[in-house]
Structure 1
């Protein structure tokens, strides 16, 4: 295939490949690296007989991501349970076609956290099959298993995901109302008001970054989360509404500098998860301004 045509075909699939890699790796920068590595492999391969180039590229980026997961070393000193995947943040109401493509079919932060707990092979089987409709026959060679064994990998992953990743409420306006009520209650020190918007089994996760392990924590239950009201003190400064992986969120600013990103998962009218990134360096790396 002509190199120029090959580049055009790859560019047409770049957004799709980045979406696959983001779900596999939970890191925006690593996803970009995986897409670039896929481009290098494409240039080194003879694809003249490939009938479905998009499918071929999907399996290649999947294999690249699998290798990256297997060789990944921890970048944090705090336990994995505190570490949050890279969120996709945008101004509320702003249109960004690239981010919309990245988050197509909805991939909330809570889901990415659960995917982090899967084995690399389970994650690949689940992401490629359940999210991108790749057949088990195509996935099996990547994980060196039979199609039947690959199906079992995806099934185990699916059970973990269904039990641990709540689906967010689809009504964006209602999500924002709940977040506004939460913020007002936290600013006023209104514990009863906080309990009214928190699910009894709410989970709070704070990722303080490499240099702030003491600020990293995991808190479960409405009363325990309410007792951590000081955690939200920074949000009493200037805050800006944003969406985080398509759901309602907040950025807190001090003198114009982002100091915290708060993501909410809301089911019906209650907050079931709160995820906070509180490391300014990481916020800057994520492009939160």
Structure 2
């Protein structure tokens, strides 16, 4: 019975992880939520379950909804700015990301925006936008009325889209900007850096109090250029053998910095009219652990 239940559960695991990650913004917590869902699956009377997918999704999304309440309290005491955990997506880790809309929904920018929502608003938004559930199905999962689900969805869309700037850029365009950015930063060309930014550029770094980083967002081209120049000036002597690579992270091109094979920073940017409008840098080693683990696992599979 246990083996059969595990086989059935494993069929749904990738989708459950993808859902939990979009709900929580944390790969580590998403794994925990999926494992807790499995434990409940193993102790229930599965013969009485009509649809495994519906049952598992309902349990998982309500677990995440509960966890988001405690997560919000933890993030209020988080040291510095909070950013989502980056996830490598070049090999389908978060499901198919074939359209610009699908990629946007797992982007660092969108996951950060979702923090504005209440747990129930986020649940409705993710189930509707990312997984295409009908409001009737969402209402059943969350113990809401269908009209309440529709109302929460409209409210969530308003919150998320209100300040969201959407600009279609190709990976090549982003890579060119990254290369120009790196060249200017490496040479200490502060004026060149400043010219690459929009007037309202924002740089956010998440060091979690474990890595030295600005604890508040840095705003404005002059301040961001000076800050990044100082960051690079400090990091280069500290990590003389550092290397970088362009990789797909959260559905978008990202700059992954490594030293001695260990990831120590992942950066993403938002682009507006060929200029950088936002930078997000994850340096907290706890938030890079999942990325590194997936990377090692994939490398092992490739070697085999």
- Structure 1 position 214, deviation (Å): 6.4
- Structure 1 position 156, deviation (Å): 1.4
For residues 118 and 212 of structure 2, the distance between their equivalents in structure 1, rounded to whole angstroms, comes to 25
The answer for the alignment partner of 1:233 in structure 2 is 233
Distance change (3 Å), C-alpha of 1:213 and 1:244:
same
**How many equivalent residue pairs?**
282
The answer for the alignment partner of 1:21 in structure 2 is 20
Residue 180 (structure 2) pairs with residue 181 (structure 1)? yes
Residue deviations 1:95-131 (CA, integer Å, cap 9, x gap)? 524x252867221001111112211111111111121
Which consecutive unaligned segments of at least 5 residues does structure 2 have? 296-304
For residues 12 and 68 of structure 2, the distance between their equivalents in structure 1, rounded to whole angstroms, comes to 22
Q: Pick one of 264, 268, 284 that aligns with 1:279.
A: 284
Residue deviations 1:161-213 (CA, integer Å, cap 9, x gap)? 21334446451122111111111112222233223332222221011213457
- Structure 1 position 139, deviation (Å): 2.4
Q: Pick one of 263, 266, 269 that aligns with 1:261.
A: 266
Deviates more, 1:105-114 or 1:67-76: 67-76
Residue 250 (structure 2) pairs with residue 245 (structure 1)? yes
For residues 259 and 54 of structure 1, the distance between their equivalents in structure 2, rounded to whole angstroms, comes to 37
Contact 1:239/1:252, CA 8 A, preserved across alignment: yes
Residue deviations 1:1-20 (CA, integer Å, cap 9, x gap)? x6544332321111111000
- Structure 1 position 277, deviation (Å): 1.6
For residues 19 and 48 of structure 1, the distance between their equivalents in structure 2, rounded to whole angstroms, comes to 26
Which consecutive unaligned segments of at least 5 residues does structure 1 have? none
User: RMSD of the alignment, in Å?
Assistant: 2.8
For residues 282 and 119 of structure 1, the distance between their equivalents in structure 2, rounded to whole angstroms, comes to 23
Pairs within 5 Å for 1:108-147 = 108-147=107-146
For residues 96 and 18 of structure 2, the distance between their equivalents in structure 1, rounded to whole angstroms, comes to 5
Contact 2:205/2:214, CA 8 A, preserved across alignment: yes
Deviates more, 1:52-61 or 1:247-256: 247-256
Residue 216 of structure 1: SS of its match in structure 2?
coil
Deviates more, 1:17-26 or 1:247-256: 247-256
For residues 235 and 271 of structure 2, the distance between their equivalents in structure 1, rounded to whole angstroms, comes to 19
Contact 1:77/1:213, CA 8 A, preserved across alignment: no
Structure-2-length-normalised TM-score: 0.81
Structure-1-length-normalised TM-score: 0.84
Contact 2:79/2:208, CA 8 A, preserved across alignment: no
Residue 53 (structure 2) pairs with residue 59 (structure 1)? no
The answer for the alignment partner of 2:47 in structure 1 is 48
For residues 7 and 262 of structure 2, the distance between their equivalents in structure 1, rounded to whole angstroms, comes to 39
